[in-house]
Amino acid sequence: MPGLLAVGGGVVLAAAGVALVVWSLGLLDGPEAGPAGIPDGHVAVPVASAPLPAYTAIQLDHLVNPQTGSLSVVYLPEGTLLPGTVGDAKSLLGRVLARDKDPGRVFREDDLLPAGTRAGLVAGIPAGKRALRIDASKVNGIIGLRRGDRFDLVATRRHRGARPSVGGASLGPRAQVHEVVIDGAVVEPLAQRQLPDARGAGRVVQEMVIAVAPEEVPLLTEALEVASRIDCVPRSGHPEERAFSGETARTQRTARPGFGGESLVDTIEGDQRALRAVPSAGLPSVSTGPYDGG
């Protein structure tokens, strides 16, 4: 019997704690609902109770002070809330963060992704784009970009074969430059990861997750394989910067040839297998444009 009483008492206390949190969130109807003890002339604004990384779906635990069991809030004078500040804790539940949020900081609408966004890495991929995890050391100038920054990628390929000019003189080495990504975006900034090998300890790589257009995926993966260098060209972060529309970007891509005017062919010579670049003119053309349903 004492054991049953102890269990029953624990259940009652847990239920009381949940009821306190629900009441403090204002989830109970009635004129008395809402957090108590608000100073005169102030409003209670919910804040994060712990550090929350980007792409996290906000849950009740993220808004409750674990020491007191009540809603984490700050009291701000009425009329001082900046436009876009979220003052209703209920409206935060289930929303996905667009950026990291420190504890004690209020939430703003631009901290949140549109309602219905799935949590996790996929939340950071702009609609209509695809994500790639790349070795950042292979792209000059991309290290230092932050989540959400926009950029273009330009690939350069050097050709060592000399070709004669009109007068017969050799022009020597030449290079071809190709824009392989237009208006890409950083999904996850620079992070280090260790690649395991047969001995259990591999090399450390610096990686970034970026988002590109679907038709740019083969162009970029090819460039990462064979380009002499790839340069990142950051875009302006000013609000008046107009990102390329899908139609403009598509026109630019279809007007240019494949990377370096060449294509990759999987070749096998004896027991050696390798990728070899050959002129695209000698192969049937393959469209990398957007799928049109045909």
What is the pLDDT, as a whole number, of residue 268? 52
pLDDT, block means (10 residues), the chain with 294 residues: 47 44 44 58 94 96 92 92 93 96 95 96 95 95 95 87 51 74 95 73 84 95 93 90 52 51 51 50 38 34
Q: What's residue 79's pLDDT?
A: 87
Could you tell me where the DSSP H helices lie in 158-243? 217-226
The CA-based dihedral angle spanning residues 215, 285, 252, 157, taken in that order and rounded to the nearest 10 degrees: 90
* Burial class, 212, CB count within 10 angstroms (exposed 0-12 / middle 13-18 / buried 19+): buried
> Domain map of the chain by residue range?
16-120, 125-162+171-259
pLDDT of residue 63: 96
Burial of 82 per CB tally in 10 Å (0-12, 13-18, 19+)? exposed
Assign 110 to helix, strand or coil.
helix
Q: Which H or E element spans position 16?
A: helix 2-25
Q: Which CATH architecture has domain 16-120?
A: Alpha-Beta Complex (3.90)
Whether pTM exceeds 0.75: no
